[in-house]
Amino acid sequence: MALRTTGRALSAVVRVACFAHLVLTYGFEIRQTRGQSMLPTIFYKDDYIVIDKRSRLGRNISVGDCVVVHKPTAPSTSVCKRVSGMPGDVVLRRPDESLDDFVKVPEGHCWITGDNLRSSADSREYGAVPLALVQGRVVASYMPPGPLKPVANTLVTADR
């Protein structure tokens, strides 16, 4: 009898662990943020973000989306940035310094920048980021004890 109860308990723990793994890998994740690169969208400390993992590996992301990526220069570190260019796009390499230095985003890559350019290490520093490093799209932020705030795509299209 005790063996059967132990087996059921172990089975339940394994199922819960598998479910948690699936949700955290392919569903949603909540992470704490730090750093000033995404001000004013995301506060520099004690702010939490909700990451939609269905957008991992660059699936369904577009220019203007806020994403979390493995930092190319330190793959064990994650950074939260805004997508400024997708494959084939021509982007201004350093909009804070020069208005005539452009780069074409290569296939399979994206160009990311922080909302606060003065305090951001991003594609201006390490170049285009492989889409395979994208961990997900940021859909909301939360700073306790405040409400959940959506993090929207900020792309504004020009009227032609």
Q: Is 37 marked active-site?
A: yes
Average of per-residue pLDDT across 143-160? 80
- The reported pLDDT for the residue numbered 116 is 92
| pLDDT (tens digit per residue) in 44-93 | 788 899 999 999 999 999 999 999 999 999 999 999 999 999 999 999 99
* pLDDT, averaged across the chain: 89
- The reported pLDDT for the residue numbered 159 is 61
* Vertex 111: Cα angle to 78 and 99 (nearest 5): 130
Question: Which of 81, 120, 123, 141 is the catalytic position?
Answer: 81
- The reported pLDDT for the residue numbered 158 is 65
Q: What is the pTM of this model?
A: 0.83
Residues 6+ positions from 41 with CB-CB distance below 8 Å: 66, 82, 115, 141, 151, 154
- The reported pLDDT for the residue numbered 160 is 52
* Distance separating alpha carbons of residues 49 and 118, to the nearest angstrom: 22
| pLDDT (tens digit per residue) in 117-144 | 999 999 999 999 999 999 999 999 998 8
Banded model confidence at residue 21, pLDDT cuts 50, 70, 90: confident
Question: Which of 37, 84, 123, 141 is the catalytic position?
Answer: 37
Average of per-residue pLDDT across 23-40? 86
Banded model confidence at residue 145, pLDDT cuts 50, 70, 90: confident
Evaluate whether 116 touches 37 at the Cβ level (below 8 Å): yes
Sketch out the chain's domains with CATH numbers. 29-150 (2.10.109.10)
Residues 6+ positions from 5 with CB-CB distance below 8 Å: none
